[in-house]
Amino acid sequence: MRNATRTILFKRYTARCGAAVLTLLLGTGLSVAGNFPSGQGDGFNERDEVTGYLCVTPGCDVLRPPGISCICTKDNPWENRLSKLRLTCRKKERGQWVACPVQPKHGR
């Protein structure tokens, strides 16, 4: 077999493997995206026991406050008292994560 034929076969094989991996990753990404809370009753819809915010992750260490376009992470996720809970809230602005200008109000 000539080198040119081997090169063509190798390129075809590589392209097929790449397409299979891409399809697998795309399918996985779409299934995970369905778990992002929309607040409309579909998908993952659990509320945090301390703040009452919608949970983004199953452990409720990432939250989505109502009324503002920010995502908050718990700095001390083991804390059960609202007065002691610390949140860091950020939003995406021009492709970068920046601090949220408005601190969310806690409550159910």
- 9-66, pLDDT tens digit by residue? 777 777 665 555 545 444 544 444 444 444 454 456 789 999 889 999 888 889 998 8
Same domain, 58 and 101: yes
Tell me how many domains the chain contains: 2
Same domain, 1 and 53: no
Same domain, 15 and 29: yes
Q: Is residue 96 pLDDT above 60, yes or no?
A: yes
Domain that holds residue 43: 38-108
Same domain, 9 and 27: yes
The closest alpha carbon to 107, from 54, 71, 42, 39, belongs to 54
Same domain, 17 and 48: no
Same domain, 100 and 58: yes
Same domain, 27 and 53: no
57 Cβ neighbours under 8 A, 6+ residues apart:
none
